[in-house]
Amino acid sequence: MLEYFISIGVVALCTAIAIPLRLRFAESTFAMLYLLGVIVVSMRCRRRAAVLNALLSVTAFFYFCVPVHDSVVLEDYNYIITLMVMLIVALVISTLTFKIRAQAADAIKAEIAIQTERTRNALLSAVSHDIKTPIASIYGAATSLLEGSARLEQAQRQDLIESIATESERLNRVVSNLLEMTRLEAGFELRRDWYPLEELIGAALTRVETLLRGRTVTTTIPPELPLIFVEDVLIEEVLTNILENAGKYTTAGTPIEISAVESGTKITISVRDQGPGFADGEEEHVFEKFFRSNSNGIRGVGLGLAICRTIVQRHEGRITAGNRPGGGAVLTIELPIGGTPPMLNALSESSLT
């Protein structure tokens, strides 16, 4: 119904423009004005509304712009041909415009289908190796334990068990990342609450404890840092993915630094390592799905940082990647505090005893 009002409104607007000027300009000028209105309606509305606009435009042009003005009396019958041609042109314009719109919509659908197929192929290509490889390793280690347990020494059995555990964890991370990205793109509602940032960082460090074993991890968090209004599981996932990347793409034993500062209504978190850093021009691409730079044989799907960006953006924040002056990568997360944090009453020692 709204489209019909738009159709009538455009004719009324053209008429309002034409009436004060009809004695100054030739009729052909107003014919073009009404045809312009036909084009506008045809581009915005459905076909029936466009046809209605074409009929009303010719009628209004005849009544208001063709002598005798404001009358159905036709002083010069040569205008009959003009009116017929104008009607035909108006109908042709509306029909062609509708067809062009339909073709454009089909082209957009086709492009979406192509992009979906490309994404699916990229996903299958990226995931197939990272799922099949740990499965093969788990199967091989489990088979060795089953078939040769009696012949294997304790150290060999321990290595096989550790291999199963490691590959199972890697497989779990691949599947978890895929499920997490699907969940994020589905547009779920965040379950936010107030959390201390050091608690979220501590939980993430616990999850990557095995990977970061033997490294010095320095955390610099001011004691006066306010609580932050976030979904704890998701922000923990962001920190875990970043720390995993720092552990995988840097030399064993090199330190990792985590810092946080309050800046106005935001908290800025930085994770720095002493690895090779990002190649020139990759600072933005690393957040794209399935993007992987020179991995040096390190396995991965390329979803970790893409998930991080999606989570941070859902929290109305920002994540950036860069290189530190002394060498190494730095990931910076800006998150809004989320309002006025609640006051926590400190418990005295006497109240705990």
The three-state (H, E, C) secondary structure of 53-79, written as one string: HHHHHHHHHHHHHCCCCCCCCCCCCCH
Task: Give the pLDDT band of residue 42 (cuts 50, 70, 90).
Answer: confident
Statement: residue 70 has pLDDT above 80: yes
Beta bridge partners of 268: 261, 334
* Chain-centre distance for alpha carbon 196: 27
* Mean pLDDT across 86-93: 88
Q: Which of 143, 155, 239, 231 is nearest to 193 (CA)?
A: 231
Task: Give the pLDDT band of residue 341 (cuts 50, 70, 90).
Answer: confident
Statement: residue 86 has pLDDT above 90: no
Amino acid 265: pLDDT: 92
Amino acid in position 17: I
Amino acid 271: pLDDT: 95
Amino acid 67: pLDDT: 86
Q: What is the CA radius of gyration of the chain?
A: 34
CA–CA dist 196, 247 (Å, integer): 24
Question: pLDDT by residue (tens digit) across 211-254?
Answer: 898 899 999 999 999 999 999 988 998 999 899 888 888 888 89
Statement: residue 345 has pLDDT above 60: no
* Mean pLDDT across 115-138: 71
Question: pLDDT by residue (tens digit) across 320-338?
Answer: 999 988 889 999 999 999 8
Q: Which two tokens stand for residue 36?
A: 């312009």
Amino acid in position 39: I
Amino acid 229: pLDDT: 94
Q: What CATH number does the domain located at 193-336 have?
A: 3.30.565.10
CA–CA dist 329, 161 (Å, integer): 34
- Higher pLDDT, residue 177 or 253: 253
Statement: residue 128 has pLDDT above 70: no
Question: pLDDT by residue (tens digit) across 71-80?
Answer: 888 777 878 8
Q: Which of 221, 256, 216 is nearest to 240 (CA)?
A: 256
Q: What is the mean pLDDT of the chain?
A: 84
Q: Domains of the chain: which residue ranges?
A: 1-188, 193-336
Task: Give the pLDDT band of residue 301 (cuts 50, 70, 90).
Answer: low
Statement: residue 349 has pLDDT above 70: no
Strand order in the sheet with 217-220: 217-220, 256-263, 266-273, 329-336, 318-323
CA–CA dist 72, 327 (Å, integer): 84
DSSP of 93-155, one letter per residue? HHHHHHHHHHHHHHHHHHHHHHHHHHHHHHHHHHHHHHHHHHHHHHHHHHHHHHHHTTTS-HH
End-to-end CA distance of the chain, in Å? 73
Statement: residue 351 has pLDDT above 50: no
Q: Going along 197-336, which residue ranges are E strands?
A: 217-220, 228-230, 256-263, 266-273, 318-323, 329-336
Task: Give the pLDDT band of residue 185 (cuts 50, 70, 90).
Answer: low
Q: Cα separations (Å) of 153 from 145, 149, 160?
A: 11, 8, 11
Amino acid 346: pLDDT: 44
Statement: residue 207 has pLDDT above 90: no
* Chain-centre distance for alpha carbon 293: 21
Task: Give the pLDDT band of residue 127 (cuts 50, 70, 90).
Answer: low
Q: How many CB atoms within 10 Å of residue 313?
A: 13
Task: Give the pLDDT band of residue 101 (cuts 50, 70, 90).
Answer: confident
User: Taking a C-beta distance cutoff of 8 angstroms, is the pair 286, 320 a contact?
Assistant: no
Q: What percent of the chain has pLDDT over 70?
A: 87
CA–CA dist 104, 42 (Å, integer): 14
CA–CA dist 288, 272 (Å, integer): 20
User: Taking a C-beta distance cutoff of 8 angstroms, is the pair 70, 63 a contact?
Assistant: yes
The set of residues, in sequence order, having a beta carbon less than 8 Å from that of 332 and lying 6+ positions away, is: 268, 269, 270, 319, 320, 321, 322
